[in-house]
Amino acid sequence: MKKTMKFAMSIVTAASLSVLAGCSLLPGLGEDAPEPATPSISPVVEVSEDYYGSMPPYKQNQTRGMLSERSYRIDFSHLELGLLEIARETYPTTDYLFQEGQQIKRETVEAWLSRKKNNPSGMNPDKGPNLLVHVLEHDYLDKEKMQLAGMVLGLSLSPVYQDATGQDKMYTTDELRAKGQQLAARIVQAVRAEHPQIPMVIALYQVPEKSSTLVPGRFILTGTVNANENGIAKWQPIEEEFFLFPGDAVEEKYPQHSLQYDKLKRQTQSLFGEYIGLTGVGRYMGGKLTELTVTATAEYDSRTEVLQFTQFAAAEINRLFEKDVHVNLYVQSINQPLAIYIRPTSGEPYMHVYRK
C-alpha cells in the first residue's frame, strides 16, 4: 500500500469564490493531460486540511437519488470517500478541484443499468439479479485552466447471480473482478465517444450483502485509462475486507483479533454490567487489520459514567490492539452521541465527551 492519504471535502474559501465565479468551465483537455497513476486505496481514511476545493455553484451528481429507486444497499459514504482517496493518486489536491459528476447523463446510466434484452446499451443479464447496480462519476478540474481534466468512475457490482437451475449463487472475488473488467471496457468505450481525450480512473466496488446492515461494501479493483486511449491500460487489485465483531466469519479467519475483541467486551461489561452494548467493524487491507471501529450503545446518558466508560474502554483498546491499527470508538445512547475516542496510527489520540 502506498502512503496513507488524508482528505476531506470542502467548498473553497470566500476569497477564492470571487475569482472562480468569473471563470467558465470549458470542456476538453490540453496536451499536458496527466497519465493516471496506479490507483490505490489507503488503509485508513482520516480528515486533515489537505482537501479538494470545488468550483461554485456546487452541482449535484447527475445520478443523485438513483439508489433510492433500487433495492440494493450501498454504503454510499464509503464509496464516495474511497473514490476521492483513489483520485488523489492521479489528481493531487494542489492542482485540481472536485466536482460531482456532470458529464454522464442520468438517462445514460439508466440505460447501462437495464437488461441487454430491453436496451442495446444495457449491461445487465437478461434474467436473474443485476450485476451492475450503480455508476458514480466524479470529475476533476484543472485549477489553472478551469476545465475538465479527469474523471473517476465507481462501478458498483453485486456478486449475486443465478445459475442454470435458477438458484442464486455468489461470484468469487476473482470472478466478480473478471465480470467487472468486461463491463468497464464497454463503459469506457461509451464515455470515450463523448470525451475522447479525458484520462479516467475506474474503480470496481462490491456492494455489501443485503442481509448486512453494518458491514460496508469494498473496493476490489482499480484501472486506468490514459488520455487519448480507448482501453484500460492497467488493472490493480485491491484487497479490502470488512468483518463484524463479534462474528463467526472473523473468528474463523482472524481468531486472534476475535479473541482480543471478546476480551474488550468482557472487560467493559464486567465493570459496567450489561448497560453497554458493543459492536465492532474491522477493516482489513491485504489481510492486515488496519482500522477498528467500535460502537458502544449505552442505556443511560450520565456524563460522568460516559466519561469513565470511555476512558476505561480506550485504555483496554490500547492494551489489546497494536498501535498500527487506527481505532474509532463511538459512545452513544439510542438518541444521541455521547462521546468519541480516536486513536490514529500517527499523532496523539483524541477524546471528547459531548455536552447536552
226-257 per-position pLDDT tens digit: 988 889 988 999 999 999 999 999 999 999 99
Please tell me the predicted confidence (pLDDT) of residue 244: 94
Of residues 54 and 255, the one with the higher pLDDT is 255
The answer, yes or no, to whether residue 318 has pLDDT greater than 80, is yes
pLDDT-based confidence at residue 321 (cuts at 50, 70, 90): very high
Please tell me the predicted confidence (pLDDT) of residue 288: 95
Please tell me the predicted confidence (pLDDT) of residue 17: 32
Which residues have CB under 8 Å from 1's CB, separation 6+? 40, 42, 43, 285, 286
How far does Cα 128 stand from its chain's mean position?
A: 27
User: Is the bond preceding residue 208 a cis peptide, omega within 30 degrees?
Assistant: no
Tens of pLDDT, residue by residue over 324-352, are 999 999 999 888 899 999 999 988 999 99
pTM: 0.80
Task: Write down the architecture of domain 14-238 according to CATH.
Answer: Roll (3.10)
CA torsion angle 75 264 289 256 (round to 10): -130
The rounded distance, in Å, linking the Cα atoms of 173 and 175 is 5
Beta bridge partners of 289: 284
Q: What are phi and psi of 78, to 5 degrees?
A: -65, -40
The set of cell numbers assigned to 313 is: 474502554
Q: How many other C-beta atoms are found inside a 10 Å radius of the C-beta of residue 70?
A: 12
Q: Taking the alpha carbons of 103, 154, 53, 67 in that order, is the dihedral positive or negative? A: positive
The answer, yes or no, to whether residue 97 has pLDDT greater than 90, is yes
Are 60 and 116 in contact by the 8 Å Cβ rule? The answer is no
Determine the average pLDDT of the residues in 123-143.
93
Beta bridge partners of 161: 169
Domain 242-353 in this protein, CATH class: alpha beta
Please tell me the predicted confidence (pLDDT) of residue 35: 64
Average pLDDT over the chain, rounded to an integer: 83
Task: Measure Cα distances from 178 to 48, 141, 171, 184, 300 in Å.
Answer: 36, 31, 10, 10, 50
Of residues 201 and 229, the one with the higher pLDDT is 201
Please tell me the predicted confidence (pLDDT) of residue 164: 85
Please tell me the predicted confidence (pLDDT) of residue 96: 93
Where do the structural domains in the chain lie, given as residue ranges? 14-238, 242-353
- SS3 of the chain: the string is CCCCCECCECCCCHHHHHHHHCCCCECCCCCCCCCCCCCCCCCCCECCCCCECECCCCCCCCCCCHHHHCCCCCCHHHHHHHHHHHHCCCCCCCCEEEEECCCCCHHHHHHHCCECCCCCCCCECCCCCCCEEEEEEEEEEECCCCEEEEEEEEEEECCEEECCCCCEEECCHHHHHHHHHHHHHHHHHHHHHHCCCCCEEEEEEECCCCCCCCCCCEEEEEEEECCCCCCCCEEEECCEEEEEECCHHHHHHCHHHHHHHHHHHHHHHHHHHHHEEEEEEEEEECCEEEEEEEEEEECCCCHHHHHHHHHHHHHHHHHHCCCCCEEEEEEECCCCEEEEEEECCCCCCEEEECCC
